[in-house]
Copies of this chain bind each other. A is one copy, B any other.
Amino acid sequence: MDTVEFSPRPDQYAFTFGGVEPVLRIDPGTALKLWCQDAYCGRITSTDDHASSSLVATELNPQTGPFHVNGAEPGDTLAIHIVDLTPARTWGASAVIPYFGGLTSTPQAPTLQAALEERTWVYEYDPLAKTVRYAARGSDFHLDLPANPMLGTVGVAPAQREVRTSLVPEMFGGNMDTPEMRAGTTCFLRVNVEGALFSLGDGHYRQGEGESCGTAVEGAMNVTVIVDLIKDDGPAWPRLESDEALCVVGSGRPLEDAWRASQVDMVGWLQELYGLDALDAYQLLSQIGQVPIANVVDTNFSAVTKVDKALLPPAAAYEGMHRRLRDAAGSLGSINY
């Protein structure tokens, strides 16, 4: 398997999906070993760094990419298998940012209330124990939490000639912020433009569902993925497959509409996999679906509809692509950064 390494210089960060020239052209079946800057663009490094003074509004959530996948055409399915996510620093940071997050008014849903106080937390990451340390700022309370490295953002160039900031989750993927986007997961995205032009970033060393305050334990990440292509059959919304589960991520507002998008697409997926009619698939989903909310803080909210594979007969989604990439990942040997 071809393996390509790429670590962007700061002037190569992509801040949009679409509208950016590819940094590399790769063939389907290529493994990529990448480094991703954190969502703050590296501008928050201590508890004294606050969002309003340290961040630059036009330089948030830098992506590594985009990558042009040779042969990818609109309507195709891009498969991105996440082989490994390893924190690239020994610390990550989370921040309460004025008028951003789930438990505050925002520019999209403003009120006349004052903003919450700004505050930054730095989490030490212990690479041996694989934990991050929460330290309260207003009292003496510490907690070691298991790291669950994930990517907040994976996406392709949008349809309809659009260019969207990397802060947005949508049909093209983007800033979905779901903990399901972890090592061992294959992400299927519909290709909208020639070459797909996918990029990824927004490493989280740990995140809760909903990403309540708007930021996870954000940190630079070493990322290994294998990229492949299926001609046609691009799904309407991002689909994820792991050894354990099938997921669809819907994004929009209000949250029930994000949920509906993920549910209707999962009804369709269950129909495809098991030959059910729409009502039978709807019924089955009603009794087996899980709904671990992804984010309620971004420009669009993201809801995940998840199905436990253990409850279902075996089925080879996308002609067994997940299994094939997972096996190929094994052949990559140990990941060294």
Q: Which of A29-37, A79-87, A158-166, A219-227 contacts B (4 or more CB under 8 A)?
A: A158-166
Q: Which residues from B are CB-within-8-Å of A189? A: none
Q: Which residues from B are CB-within-8-Å of A209? A: 289-291
A208 beta carbon closer than 8 Å to chain B: yes
Q: Which residues from B are CB-within-8-Å of A283? A: 94, 96, 119, 121, 134, 136, 213
A261 beta carbon closer than 8 Å to chain B: yes
A292 beta carbon closer than 8 Å to chain B: yes
Mark out the residues of chain A between 140 and 185 whose CB falls within 8 Å of any chain B CB in the assembled complex: 141, 143, 145-146, 160-165
Q: How many copies does the complex hold?
A: 4
In the complex, A264 Cα to B102 Cα: how many Å? 10
Chain A contact residue count (CB 8 A cutoff): 92
Main secondary structure of the interface of A (DSSP, over half): loop
Most B CB contacts (10 A, CB to CB) among A102, A277, A278 go to A102
In the complex, A69 Cα to B95 Cα: how many Å? 39
> Which listed residue, B15, B210, B253, B264, touches A254 by the CB 8 Å rule?
B253
Q: Which residues from B are CB-within-8-Å of A121? A: 283
**B103–A143 CB distance below 8 A:** no
**B104–A113 CB distance below 8 A:** yes
**B163–A19 CB distance below 8 A:** yes
- Min CB gap A12→B, angstroms: 15
Q: A102-B259, A253-B253, A256-B296 are in contact. Are A163 and B161 (CB under 8 A)?
A: yes
**A215–B286 CB distance below 8 A:** yes
Write 19 A-B pairs (CB below 8 A) sorted by A numbering. A58-B161, A103-B260, A103-B267, A104-B113, A109-B261, A119-B279, A134-B284, A141-B275, A143-B313, A162-B164, A207-B287, A208-B286, A208-B289, A212-B282, A213-B285, A253-B257, A259-B296, A291-B293, A293-B303
Q: Which A residues contact B (CB, under 8 angstroms)?
A: 15-16, 18-19, 57-58, 94, 96, 102-105, 107-117, 119, 121, 132, 134, 136-139, 141, 143, 145-146, 160-165, 206-217, 236, 252-257, 259-261, 263-264, 267, 274-280, 282-293, 296, 301, 303, 305, 311-313
